[in-house]
């Protein structure tokens, strides 16, 4: 005989009601409408021109509603975001994550990092690997890293067949082939979003021309790390003749390739390139961001289009650190929070033609970063070891990937243990918690 006084857990109650189908709605009687409600945060969604206090409801890994006030009773899990900024999941346009090959001094090896250890804790849900692999080794990269990562890993195919293995590999013009690179990109359209050329030290234009041919054949943009600064191939020619509208010039504030003229003014070629439709990416890295260049260019009205880290084992332990630190540097240079969020979400998503990312429109993928803006006295270091002082710093409090929790710095999604039974088990529910194992 049933004991009517038995107490049921919330999980049991939901499981029981789930068995009673409502047919037309597909939702069970008494079941909450939303999986997750992020409540009371300041939402910054540049694509939609939104910067205001809003609630965000999520269900099935998608954004369902963004509104002034959503009833908490409609959600299975409610997270208090008051005093925090809620943005689309950050998109880091330039990283190196082809780890695990055991190749020393190689970005197709030991110089790279596995993505999941470095992304979510800084609000990043999507990264673009910047050319670690080419057509000869991309399959290995996809099978051993991309397919195993929880982070959304997209990639630029290196015009060099061997990828970014360093040394002679990256100087071998015979291995820079548009045909096989374009074929690779077309065979992996779900992952490959562009072509990369990098680190070339010779005077020839071949790497850049071959990369553009591959980009034309596959219908994708080219990102250029312009290698050595040589008079035979000046940056002005690259930006106004060689690159197409929609191509990307990374390391734009490095100062390594005449971004500033000898008189200390920005190279007019930068402005001409932007007028042509070329995008300019930060690509901070371990040697490609200089305060004097960034400050001078921005004062002259030339900000970057996208903020990216150039994440690798060197940059993460030096001045770059992570995505939110890199964003904080541009706050210190006078940009608004709304601007740096745009440069880290919607702008990079558009550059790689993945406009399903980088925004919080209803129906969009529920990739969300929840950020805290700290006030105080902070120091930020560039790639050359110079410091710039700032009064604001971004910290990532929570990250949600596909609607599931991926990072929670201060346990904001958790109950105090003193409110739980003494024999409590693992907390969280699969409807919102991606940290359950």
CATH of the domain at 345: 3.20.20.140
- Tell me if 173 is assigned to some domain: yes
- Tell me if 45 is assigned to some domain: no
pLDDT at 28: 64
Could you tell me which residue, 1 or 203, shows the higher pLDDT?
A: 203
225 alpha carbon, distance to own chain's centre: 18
User: What mean pLDDT is reported for the chain?
Assistant: 94
- Tell me if 121 is assigned to some domain: yes
pLDDT at 436: 81
Q: Could you tell me the strand order of the sheet in which 90-95 lies?
A: 90-95, 124-130, 152-158, 192-197, 222-224, 248-249, 279-280
- Global pTM reads 0.93
Q: Which of 86, 122, 115 is nearest to 99 (CA)?
A: 115
- Tell me if 31 is assigned to some domain: no
Can you list the positions of beta strands (E) in 206-354? Answer: 222-224, 248-249, 279-280
Per-residue model confidence as pLDDT tens digits over 33-81: 999 999 999 999 999 999 999 999 999 999 999 999 999 999 999 999 9
Per-residue buried b or exposed e for 16-55, using 16+ beta carbons within 10 Å of the residue's own CB: eeeeeeeeeeeebeeebbbbbbbbbbbbbbbbbebbeebb
**Spatial separation of the C-alpha atoms in residues 129 and 340, rounded to whole Å:** 21
pLDDT at 29: 58
Bridge partners, 197 (sequence order): 224
**Spatial separation of the C-alpha atoms in residues 172 and 161, rounded to whole Å:** 10
- Tell me if 61 is assigned to some domain: no
Quote the domain boundaries for residue 284. 89-373
Q: Which of 341, 343, 331, 344 is nearest to 389 (CA)?
A: 331
pLDDT at 22: 35
**Spatial separation of the C-alpha atoms in residues 56 and 75, rounded to whole Å:** 11
- Tell me if 102 is assigned to some domain: yes
- Tell me if 49 is assigned to some domain: no
Are 89 and 399 in contact by the 8 Å Cβ rule? The answer is yes
- Tell me if 245 is assigned to some domain: yes
CA torsion, points 237, 238, 241, 244, in degrees to nearest 10?
Answer: -160
Q: How many helices (H) and strands (E) does the chain have?
A: 10, 15
For 426, residues 6+ apart whose C-beta sits below 8 A from its C-beta are 436
Q: Quick check: helix, strand or coil at residue 408?
A: strand
Confidence of residue 18 (pLDDT cuts 50, 70, 90): very low
Rounded to 5 degrees, what angle do the CA atoms 217, 164, 235 make?
A: 65
In the chain, how many domains are there? 1
Please identify which residue in the block is written with the tokens 């939303």. 34
Per-residue model confidence as pLDDT tens digits over 330-371: 999 999 999 999 999 999 999 999 999 999 999 999 999 999
């Amino acid at each position: 005989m049933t004991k009517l006084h038995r107490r049921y857990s919330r999980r049991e109650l939901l499981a029981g009601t789930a068995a009673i189908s409502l047919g037309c709605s597909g939702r069970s009687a008494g079941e909450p409408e939303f999986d997750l409600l992020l409540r009371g945060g300041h939402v910054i969604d540049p694509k939609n021109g939104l910067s205001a206090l809003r609630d965000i409801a999520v269900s099935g890994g998608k954004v369902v509603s963004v509104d002034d006030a959503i009833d908490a009773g409609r959600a299975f899990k409610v997270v208090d975001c008051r005093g925090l900024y809620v943005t689309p999941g950050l998109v880091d346009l330039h990283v190196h994550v082809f780890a695990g090959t055991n190749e020393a001094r190689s970005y197709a090896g030991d110089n790279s990092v596995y993505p999941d250890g470095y992304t979510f804790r800084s609000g990043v849900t999507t990264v673009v690997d910047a050319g670690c692999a080419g057509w000869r080794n991309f399959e290995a990269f996809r099978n051993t890293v991309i397919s195993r990562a929880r982070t959304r890993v997209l990639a630029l195919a290196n015009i060099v067949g061997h990828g970014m293995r360093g040394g002679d590999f990256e100087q071998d013009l015979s291995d820079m082939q548009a045909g096989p690179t374009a074929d690779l990109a077309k065979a992996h359209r779900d992952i490959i979003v562009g072509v990369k050329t990098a680190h070339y030290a010779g005077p020839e234009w071949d790497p850049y021309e071959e990369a553009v041919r591959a980009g034309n054949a596959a219908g994708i943009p080219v990102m250029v790390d312009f290698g050595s600064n040589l008079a035979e191939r000046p940056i002005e020619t690259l930006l106004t003749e060689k690159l197409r509208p929609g191509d990307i010039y990374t390391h734009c504030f490095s100062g390594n390739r005449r971004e500033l003229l000898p008189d200390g003014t920005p190279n007019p070629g930068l402005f001409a390139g932007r007028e042509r439709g070329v995008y300019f990416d930060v690509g901070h890295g371990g040697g490609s961001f200089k305060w004097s260049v960034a400050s001078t260019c921005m004062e002259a009205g030339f900000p970057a289009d996208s903020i990216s880290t150039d994440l690798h084992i060197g940059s993460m332990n030096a001045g770059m650190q992570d995505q939110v630190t890199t964003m904080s540097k541009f706050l210190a240079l006078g940009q608004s929070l709304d601007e740096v969020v745009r440069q880290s979400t919607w702008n990079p998503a558009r550059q790689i033609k993945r406009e399903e990312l980088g925004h919080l429109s209803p129906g969009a993928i529920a990739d969300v970063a929840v950020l805290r803006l700290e006030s105080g006295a902070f120091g930020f270091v560039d790639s050359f070891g110079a410091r710039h002082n700032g009064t604001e710093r971004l910290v990532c409090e929570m990250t949600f990937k596909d609607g599931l929790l991926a990072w929670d710095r201060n346990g904001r999604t958790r109950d105090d243990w003193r409110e739980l039974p003494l024999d409590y088990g693992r907390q969280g529910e699969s409807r919102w918690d991606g940290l359950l194992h």
